[in-house]
Amino acid sequence: MTKPTFPLRLKSVVIDLDGTLLNTAPDLAEAATRMAAELALPPVELATVTTYIGNGVSRLVKRVLTREMDAEPDAALFARALPIYEKHYAEVVSRESRPFPGVVEGLQAMKAAGYRLACITNKAEKFTVPLLKDTGLFDYFELILSGDTLPKRKPDPMPLLHACKHFGIEPAELLLIGDSLNDTQAARAAGCHVFCVPYGYNRGRSVEELDLDAVVPSLLDATKLMVKI
């Protein structure tokens, strides 16, 4: 995509969940701590778990088990660990998770301007829906796509292209706001615009390194770079 001209002319905004809308790391880390204890594994720190977020619960569990980003744990151990993690995460899914500063104000401004909004996450639906409802964000979104809604998830472009079809728009009329490489890769593959927030979960790396249209301090700041068509 060629270098954009601001403000971007858009019809729809799609927003990532973990690390963009909500600070979910404390609850994800608490579930990891409980799982590790139950499996008699060493404890894992919040800062470490934060770098593990972004590719869904299965990959997070594998990272907690191996303490590496891409390693594969023993298959039997993983098969035992995943349901333990999911049990604990279901218990604490929204205990500490809260919207980041500017999120609610940004969503309100986007709705008021007439943008059609979607949330696209790699988190499973059984966690996504309670989390959005418990934090008061569910009703802002016309469309919610979880990691298990479609056959493929980010960084595959399928969820973004699905959103474009749902809204009846061209990819260039859609903006994805995210926090990680997964988001920028999905957006570029789909032909959509993409902003990233700097406060999220990009495996501990700066979003400035990513292929994106802008880094925005908050969702509210993002609205200053876009105009509804």
Asked if 149 and 163 touch (Cβ cutoff 8 Å), the reply is no
DSSP state of 41: P
Residue 156: active-site member: no
With tokens 């999911």, the residue in question is: 86
Decide: helix, strand or coil at residue 60.
helix
β-strands 12-15, 174-178 pairing: parallel
Asked if 203 and 69 touch (Cβ cutoff 8 Å), the reply is yes
d(CA 225, CA 98): 25
Beta bridge partners of 143: 118
Q: Which of 16, 18, 179, 183 is catalytic?
A: 16
Residues annotated catalytic, as ranges: 16
